[in-house]
């Protein structure tokens, strides 16, 4: 079986709903860690933005608290 390396590379970086599969994996890891929906938008140079979703003020305060604790631990 002869596999073209370019074809394999293209398959690995296949877009998932206009997102690189690796960016999608990072979104999922952050979602599991934070317990909130995470959206990452990037350009071809991987510059972009990240959005953390919350459904109430209490949820936002909890998210900020958890992010603050994680930041001080590191």
Report pLDDT for 58.
Answer: 94
Number of domains comprising the chain: 1
68: containing domain: 5-73
Report pLDDT for 73.
Answer: 60
The Cα-based distances of 15 to 19, 20, 66, 71 in angstroms read: 5, 5, 31, 31
Question: In tens digits, what is the pLDDT along the chain, a chain of 74 residues?
Answer: 444 556 555 555 555 445 677 888 889 999 998 889 999 988 878 789 999 999 999 999 999 998 888 666 65
């Amino acid at each position: 079986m002869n596999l073209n390396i370019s074809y394999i590379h293209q398959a690995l970086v296949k877009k998932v709903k206009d997102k690189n599969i690796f960016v999608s994996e990072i979104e999922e890891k952050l979602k599991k860690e934070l317990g909130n929906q995470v959206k990452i938008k990037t350009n071809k140079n991987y510059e972009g933005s990240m959005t953390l979703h919350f459904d109430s003020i209490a949820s936002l305060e909890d998210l900020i608290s958890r992010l603050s604790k994680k930041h001080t631990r590191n």
